[in-house]
Amino acid sequence: MSHTPSRRQVLGGFGAAVVTSALAPAAKAAEPGLGRATDLTDGWRFVLANPDGVTAPDGPFADPAFDDSGWQLVDVPHDWSIELPPVESGTYSSSGFFRGGLGWYRKAFTLPPSLAGKRVSVEFDGVYSDAHVHLNGELLGNHPYAYTGFAFDLTGRLHTDGRTPNVLAVRAVNPLPSSRWYSGSGIYRKVRLVVTEPVHVARHGTFVTTPDIAAGRGTVRVATDVVNDSGGALAAEVRTAVTDPAGRVVAKGSATVPLPAGRTVTAVTTQTVAGPKLWSVEEPRLYRVRTDVVVAGRVLDTTTTAFGFRHAEFHPDHGFSLNGVPMKLRGVNLHASQGALGAVIDAAALERQLRLMLAMGVNALRTAHNPPAPELVAACDRLGILMMVEAFDCWRTGKVEFDYHRDFDAWSARDIAEMVHAAKNSPSVVLWSIGNEVPDASMAGGPAIAADLIETVRGIDPTRPVIMGSDRYRSVPAPGSPQDLILRQLDGLGVNYNTAQSIDGLHAAYPDKFFFESESSSETSTRGAYQDPDLLNTGENHTPGKRATSSYDNNLASWTFSGEYSLKKDRDRKFCQGQFLWAGQDYLGEPTPYDVFPVKTSFFGAVDSAGLPKDAFHLFRSQWTTAPMVHLTPMDWTTHRPGEPVAVWVYSTVDTVELVLNGRSLGVKKFDRKTTVDGRSYLETTEPVGDDKNDPSGSYTSPNGGVGKLHLTWTVPFEPGTLTAIARSGGREVARDRLVTAGPPRAVTLTAEPRGDGAMAFVRASVVDSRGVVVPGAEPVLRFAVRGPGRVAGVDNGRQELAQSYQQPTIPAFHGQAVAVIAATGGRGAITVTASAPGLAPGTTTLPGTNFGQRNGPGARAVEQPEVPVVLAADASYSGAPDTVPAAMLDGDPATGWSNHYVKQATAALKAVSRPRPEDWVSLVWPRPQRFGTLTANFVVDATLVLPETAEVAYRTARGFEPVRGLKIAWGTGPNDPTTFSFEPVTTTEVRITLKTRGFLRISALVAR
């Protein structure tokens, strides 16, 4: 098998450095022969030529003589968007209100004379987006797609005299809107220079498969594409050596192939490994193949490829199995951003994110919705996380104005091939996905597009199933429809947000296809926020500064399901291969259910954007892990009124739990032990939930007839102290969780998380009382400072509604906590991190230095931009809709006003809900104290809206809110008549009316006199 290489045929592989940066005209040349490749990390110059658009005069930016000394000095990977402050004007919620624009990068480097006659290329793992690459003023080419790697041949275009700088110049654009989520901008993945002999292994030129894994032996087939860029024909011997996880050579092979000049030929070796150790999610054992290309006794090229022995099967009836062991895919979807780091790829940050997922019980990852960075694939290989690797979020028909649809016809075949080649040797990759929720799946041209993509994937790798994730199969497709024709071509299908009934229907209609949930649940939540635990779906609070969603697994958009419903649906169906939760972590952009500045992140994650677990994390942990655990919801036993009834939920892997308050038992409750129809045991209560309007019972009902919840419930009148959940098995305590009422904040404590191989470390700050208890209501501004070889790369508190930039040293605590990302800058000295806040004792921790440091990476250009305090003229505890926020009371227009009325639309499994809240408050706020003794409120009354049953007035003092004296209320009698509250005059900056009612309220005007 052979083909003729293009003019820009390029190379691949990893190795030691062979070049040096040249930031000044006179740069030192690299020593020759130090290795095959080097990362081009530091010494780049960057300018954001146009932050608000994608057009700008390029001027002489590609000219090697251009003076770029005034540009920023940056390390790559680099994301210019995350370095900018979020702004409302000219941006979109999908981008997290961060700007895109047009940027240029330049890097100068010299090469020694010894590289004359070598093949040299430059490889990019990803540039967002539409990269145009120049060398020494010459355009090498462009690459539109942001998520696939690409390379250009530099041979014959380089200066190799050791003195004359070579200049790479890269132009990147991010037109908004270009994505449905935050994408970042710029050279956000790694870049490397590759140097080889004319005879070498092609880029992505090694494909290792294990076609036969039998008892006691394993076959290793290595297909190596060898390029002959020399001037004449020759013969090459390809030698392969397999090493086991301990580094011992366990098998060898060789093949000799003729190499015509200017051609690429594939050499195949087959070797047998005795007693292979299998790669699994519990023990991810990695083998390696060393490949040597030998000509006339001389080794001209060497590469190393990691792989694993494993056998994955997706059976239409029996589900997924790995190495013959049945298991469910316990997966999460993750977008490519890393919170405060934006889109910058850092190995330590990726590992931290994946270890959070592993702690939840995750064994699988979907790369939503694009090909991953090589570092992510390598981390999954090393940690034992199965991967569904996905190509595109759209095909020919786009979803936003500037997404991939513009380039699909010209580039999709090359991009999906690059995706497969880049990860084809990974043992963690078990599924190739050709797209996510693509509109073309229900259009006439869709089947032909799918056929081409499938053919390309199978032509490279016939060993893995080809699937897609889709929202277009919520009922059985009509025969001959585009959905039907596409599904018949696929090996299986990932469905997004199907009911139990619809996935059963698909399984019956397509018995030869396998099914799983490529997106499940999409329940939204805010860490530490709780609302209406007795409702299966709640409304949202649209009051500025209070935009959050409930963590009782009960805030759902129209297409979504609770976490419990999704877990039960998957659990009960052996044929269902598993699920991928949307999402593993909150990500920048797509801030459902709010679409307003400054709500910057999604609410879908089991952990927040800072990496702090929400209650959903523990729900899935209770179903996806087996070690004894118990978790109390709410995670707050402080911010309640004495005697207030608090709904306490307990998630546990243990069947018996006792709840204890201040040493007093509140009773023991138990899960029932149940068994699926195919014999798998599980824990669940037995009580109607009312969570499936499609089932005759009104509740989700298992095939075994069971109904119930995945949590235990108590209603506890609040009293300060200690609330403890004790899990027992066989009468013996095996786990406990404890909540303690916090006192006033006294100090900041710091906890450093273990750091992986990378520049970034994560430090959690907690605001605590005198006993070390986190204070849930404490939100002081925390200031992080660093001494030693490090800096603050970013800060985050997990709050979705936050106007400030992430890359600065200060941030308010949110529910008592925040996280700082600390970048090492190189060197082995200790890095000391301090966090302080006014009136609190500071916290300090120490991190070891590392040589993985970046001097000009994230945070290096941070400019402190504290959040500007928003001075509200009016406030409210709850606003039911975006157009009924408190400020609507102030304009005097009877057509506008504040209201707590909401209608939560129906979902696929739940009916619509609109239930009045029993109590809410509204207030007027002034920047300076005001004196008055009367409030006038115009209450709107109609078929939906009522007068409050009772009202109380309080005003702000140094001690908090205190009731006014001598309150008298003259209620209005008409549908919009004024109600007057008179009392002894007060002087204050805020006055509050607390309203109790059995119906919805609306105030069209509120005035103090």
Tell me if residue 519 is catalytic. yes
- Chain-centroid distance of CA 399 in Å reads 20
Q: Are 545 and 870 in contact (CB under 8 A)?
A: yes
User: Cα dist. 918→250, 280, 976, 997 in Å?
Assistant: 72, 53, 21, 5
DSSP state of 420: H
DSSP state of 801: B
User: Cα dist. 901→100, 542, 945, 977 in Å?
Assistant: 37, 11, 8, 19
In whole angstroms, what is the distance from residue 73 CA to residue 66 CA?
15
In whole angstroms, what is the distance from residue 80 CA to residue 95 CA?
13
- The one catalytic residue in 83, 197, 519, 540 is 519
Q: Is 618 strand, coil or helix?
A: helix
Q: Is 406 strand, coil or helix?
A: helix
User: Cα dist. 507→20, 475, 485, 512 in Å?
Assistant: 58, 11, 16, 8
In whole angstroms, what is the distance from residue 844 CA to residue 594 CA?
37
In whole angstroms, what is the distance from residue 446 CA to residue 449 CA?
5
The beta-strand segments (E) located in 477-590 are 492-496, 514-521, 576-582
Buried (b) or exposed (e) across 638-656, using 16+ Cβ within 10 A? bbbeeeeebebbbbbbbeb
Q: Are 264 and 228 in contact (CB under 8 A)?
A: yes
Helix axes 563-571, 615-624, angle to 10 degrees: 10
Query: Phi and psi for 798 in degrees, rounded to 5?
Result: 80, -5
Whether the bond into 427 is cis, omega within 30 of 0? no
Q: What is the DSSP string of 500-513?
A: HHHHHHHHHH-TTS
Triad 305, 310, 315: Cα angle to 5°: 135
- The one catalytic residue in 197, 390, 418, 437 is 437
User: Cα dist. 586→168, 240, 299, 1009 in Å?
Assistant: 36, 44, 49, 45
In whole angstroms, what is the distance from residue 262 CA to residue 231 CA?
7
In whole angstroms, what is the distance from residue 384 CA to residue 379 CA?
8
In whole angstroms, what is the distance from residue 873 CA to residue 597 CA?
18
Tell me if residue 753 is catalytic. no
User: Cα dist. 196→229, 260, 802 in Å?
Assistant: 10, 18, 49
Half-sphere exposure of 915 (CA within 13 A, CB side): 13
Region at 480 (left for phi over 0; alpha for psi -120 to 50; beta for the rest): left
In whole angstroms, what is the distance from residue 543 CA to residue 540 CA?
9
Helix axes 374-383, 347-359, angle to 10 degrees: 40
Query: Phi and psi for 664 in degrees, rounded to 5?
Result: -105, 125
Q: If you search the block for the tokens 């694939």, which residue do you land on? A: 377
Alpha helices in 17-56 (DSSP H): none
Q: Are 303 and 201 in contact (CB under 8 A)?
A: yes
Q: CB 882: neighbour CB atoms within 10 A? A: 12
The beta-strand segments (E) located in 275-370 are 287-295, 298-307, 312-315, 319-322, 325-326, 329-334, 364-367
Indicate which residues carry an active-site annotation: 437, 519
